[in-house]
Amino acid sequence: MPRARIIGLTLAVLLAACSTPLTKREQGTVTGAAIGAGTGAIIGSATGHTAEGALIGGAIGGVSGAIIGDAIQAQEQARATSPPAAIPTPAPSPAPTVGVTPAAETVYAKEVKAAQVQAHTIYANEIKAGYVRGKIYQMGRIGTQGWPGEIKVPVLSASVIYANEIKADSVEAATIYVHELKTREW
């Protein structure tokens, strides 16, 4: 039992002697030694050799703690000396060169060719599209005399569209009045 007191007193003196903050290596050594000594004392008391168990456990724990503390300290030093990783920022993509007609209130055309046609209301004699969405009403033919010729854009968007013929990949409107509608490949 006197050996256990001597070991405990020695550890207490060593801890008290540290006036500066401990490095990670030193913290690991002290923590490992304390845990090892305690575990060794418990195991040693079962066999009647408490002091020897504490000494052996403290030595093994101290070495293990020093190795672990050294690894942690090396990682922290590497992080502190390396510059922060730059976060790559993607270059802004150039503005698309898509011809989009500005949203007009009303558009008149004899022929509309577009990938997308969007409107609140569409009046057309003929619509040829792969996809048509909206409430569709069949109507008679509308007169197109005096209307401008062809509008050819990727996207046509307006409040109201009057057209003799619309050819598009998709046509979307709240209401569509059309004389002839073809939704298959044409």
Cα 86 to chain center, whole Å? 17
The predicted pLDDT at position 88 comes to 62
Report the sign of the C-alpha dihedral through residues 7, 10, 12, 15, in that order.
Answer: negative
Instruction: Tally Cβ neighbours within 10 Å of residue 99.
Output: 11
- Amino acid identity of residue 48, one-letter, is G
**Tokens describing residue 44:** 């040693």
Along the chain (186 residues), what's the average pLDDT of each consecutive run of 10 residues? 62 60 77 77 82 81 80 80 62 54 75 93 93 91 84 90 93 93 73
Rounded CA separation 149/140 (Å): 21
The predicted pLDDT at position 127 comes to 93
Which residue in 117, 184, 133, 120 sits closest to 109, CA to CA? 117
**Beta-carbon contacts of residue 105 (< 8 Å; ≥ 6 apart):** 158, 159, 160
